[in-house]
Amino acid sequence: MINYQFRVRNYYLLLVCSFWILISNTSSYPTFAANSVVKNTVQKTSCSNQDLATFTTKLLRDLPAYFNRATQRARRLDRSVQVYSYMLVAGKPDFQALPLKSWTDEADKSANGKNGVEQVFFTTLERQYVKGKAVQLQQFHWLFLTKTESGWRVAMMYSQTGGYPKQQPPTPPRESSNSAVGQGIQTWLRDCRAGSIRF
């Protein structure tokens, strides 16, 4: 009889504890969900809310890691000899816009930040290994950014290559939106819009 009462009492105690855990977890879920939504909203909007200087400084600080991952992804395993660059550092941005000659005044205004397009100039220092010898290159980049509701995006980018530390004439400007630097920037922007970049 005592054994039966003990088992019944334990059964009721277990039932009450289970019910209490179920109720407490259910009541905490809405709060947890609301907090998650708030955090995600803050993170997602932080990219679009940043001013150009703060935004670009963070971008260039992270760019070497994004560039190096882009070059590693682009490596072809079927080639026995490959020459690819490692980015060592990205320099401070310069926001002094250059006047652009264009066919119409409207295009000229658009390229100078009048229509939501911003110009950013920066340099990068890269290292290549050619036949076991380290060669350093300095890249000069002219980046055009446009701001949308979801955040900043690349409009276009031009780059020039020069030697370092030797003062050799740089190469002519080339469109580089799809280069490793351009891919690194676009991947960073994607992560920024997704809320993965903290400011």
Model pLDDT for residues 69-119, shown as the tens digit of each residue: 988 887 765 555 566 788 999 999 999 888 766 534 444 444 444 457 899
Half-sphere exposure of 30 (CA within 13 A, CB side): 4
**Nearest in space to 199 (alpha carbons), one of 84, 46, 72:** 46
In the chain, the DSSP E strands lie at 85-90, 117-130, 133-147, 152-163, 174-175
Residue 3 lies in a domain: no
Categorise residue 132: left if φ over 0, alpha if ψ from -120 to 50, beta otherwise.
Answer: left
Residue 35 lies in a domain: no
Residue 39 lies in a domain: no
Instruction: Note if the pTM is more than 0.85.
Output: no
Residue 76 lies in a domain: yes
Instruction: Determine the pLDDT at residue 128.
Output: 87
Domain membership of residue 66 as a residue range: 50-193
Instruction: Determine the pLDDT at residue 83.
Output: 67
Residue 152 lies in a domain: yes
Residue 24 lies in a domain: no
Instruction: Determine the pLDDT at residue 121.
Output: 96
Residue 17 lies in a domain: no
Residue 73 lies in a domain: yes
Measured distance CA(161)–CA(177) in Å, rounded: 15
Instruction: Determine the pLDDT at residue 182.
Output: 94
Domain count, the chain: 1
Mean pLDDT of all residues in 158-181: 87
